[in-house]
Structure 1
Amino acid sequence: MKKKIILIDGTFYLYRAYYALPNLTNSKGYPTGAIYGFINMFNKIIKMNINSYFLIIFDTKGKSFRKKIFSKYKLTRTKMPNNLVIQIKPLYKIIKAMGYNVIAIKNIEADDIIGTLSKYAEKRSYFIFIFSIDKDIAQLVTKNIKMVNPINYSISGPKEIYSKYGVHPKFISDLLALSGDSIDNIPGIPGIGNKISQKLINKLGNLKSIYQNITNIDNINFRGGENIKKKLIKYKKLVFLYHKLTKIKTNISFSQEYLNFKIKPKINCLKYLFKLYEFNKLITINNNIN
């Protein structure tokens, strides 16, 4: 039977936990809501996925290659609140004391780490489940790599991705480059929205193929085909730049220690940390503490 690897988009859960419990502190006034909420959600995922391996991946501060080639990338995102920043290191310590690997690499986005781990694990015949709501992640989905919605735990394979986005997973990065992605502040081609992008991709293929077959646009039954062609030509250079932003890397190099999926809890350390942050409930309910 194939082993399951659970890859968790830690940054998503970090924010979710923080905003769910923004005012939680220990008796010394140290903010603990993000840590406590995260560990509760993580414990739930562990219980739902017995006999699985787990890796938790986080974004870090720093300048990714995307920011270097496109200065407006993610520019509209608000800065992480300081009350949350100071909870990150303690959270890492607790996750590691529970026996799990935390992966956060400076100047490398979590998506690229998840992409590389997914493909690495798939080649080694694992089933991979990625807990993330990020639509970029949809491009990684195959019959062996599934996306799990962290809010309602619904699972998406290739069929569900096509049904949701109107293109197959391998074309998600092309779709986002053409139509834009407001969350990451990627403009796309003005006037070419989702519907036109889907049609272009489903009839002509990926970006490269669209431009190779640009003369065929008139034969696709497009209203305003000539106008679409003009826009594609005008924004050609930019759309290929956007594609570099939307395409997840699957060849990031990182330490082999990250690929050690074995769970090695440090029970005494975990007890100490739970007492320090006054997580009394977690001391009694956490599976790893006797």
Structure 2
Amino acid sequence: MKKKIILIDGSFYLYRAYYALPHLMNNKGYPTGAIYGFINMFNKIIRMNINSYFLIIFDTKGISFRKKIFNKYKSKRIKMPDNLIMQIKPLSKIIQAMGYKIISIKNIEADDIIGTLSLQAEKKNYLVYIFSIDKDITQLVNKNIKIVNPINYSISGSKEIYKKYGVYPKFISDFLALSGDSIDNIPGVPGIGYKISQNLINKLGNLQCIFKNINNINNINFRGGDNIKKKLIKYKKLVFLYHKLTKIKTNITIDVDYFSYLNFKITPQINYLKYLFKIYELKKFNKNYL
């Protein structure tokens, strides 16, 4: 029987927790909403996945390679609130005192860490479950790697990804490069939305195949084939740039062998946890660990 590993997109849960409880503070006025909300949600995931291994991955401050090659990448994102920034270190201390590993690498996005860990885990014969809502992450899905919606906990494999996006996981990065991704501020090709992108990919294949067979667009029952062809030619250079942005890296260097630390039996630092829970007034969690 394969071992089960849970990879958690920590940045998603961090923001979700903060905006759910933006005004929660301890009696000294220190913000604690993100800490409380994150630990609460994480405990639920732990309870739902008994006999599983866990790794939590966070984004860090820094300039990723995507930002270097496309300055507008994620430029519409709102700056992290100061009250949230203040809670990151305390939260990290608590998670690690609970006995779990946190992974973040300067200038490397969490998606690329998750992508690399997923393939490494698969090679080590794990079943991988990624808790993330990020569209990009769906490109990692295969028979051994699934996506779990962190809001309703629904599990998606290849069939579910196809049903939702109209293309299979291996084509998600091509799909987003063509149709665009407003969340990451990737424009896509003007006038080529979801439907046309789906048709191009399902009938011709990935971007390389689409441009290789661009003269056949009129032969595959496309309405306005000439116009689509002209747009693709006009934006060819940009669409391949967008593809670099939407393609998750699966071969980044991770210096620590986190798999060697994984263990079913978690050993929390009881006294330190008790101290942290007292400072941030999180006594509710005492029953879980103390």
TM-score by length of 2: 0.98
User: 1:193 and 1:278 mapped to 2: Cα distance?
Assistant: 49
Code of the aligned partner of 1:178: L
| Map 1:7-26 → 2, pairs under 5 A | 7-26=7-26
Match of 1:181 in 2: 181
1:156 aligns with 2:159: no
SS at match of 2:62: coil
User: 1:185 and 1:261 mapped to 2: Cα distance?
Assistant: 36
User: 1:16 and 1:211 mapped to 2: Cα distance?
Assistant: 40
Identity over aligned pairs, percent: 78
User: 1:195 and 1:253 mapped to 2: Cα distance?
Assistant: 37
Code of the aligned partner of 2:137: I
Code of the aligned partner of 2:140: L
Cα drift, residue 124 of structure 1: 1.2
User: 2:140 and 2:180 mapped to 1: Cα distance?
Assistant: 19
List alignment gaps of at least 5 residues for structure 1: none
1:268 aligns with 2:266: no
Match of 1:79 in 2: 79
User: 2:202 and 2:222 mapped to 1: Cα distance?
Assistant: 13
* Structure 1 outlier segments of 4+, above 4 Å: none
Cα drift, residue 266 of structure 1: 1.4
| Map 1:132-211 → 2, pairs under 5 A | 132-211=132-211
Cα drift, residue 42 of structure 1: 0.2
Cα drift, residue 272 of structure 1: 1.1
User: 1:282 and 1:26 mapped to 2: Cα distance?
Assistant: 15
Cα drift, residue 210 of structure 1: 0.5
Code of the aligned partner of 1:161: I
List alignment gaps of at least 5 residues for structure 2: none
The range that moved more, 150-159 or 252-261, is 252-261
Code of the aligned partner of 2:32: T
SS at match of 1:29: coil
User: 1:186 and 1:264 mapped to 2: Cα distance?
Assistant: 43
Q: How many residues align?
A: 287
TM-score by length of 1: 0.98
Cα drift, residue 276 of structure 1: 1.2
Match of 1:116 in 2: 116
Cα drift, residue 264 of structure 1: 3.7
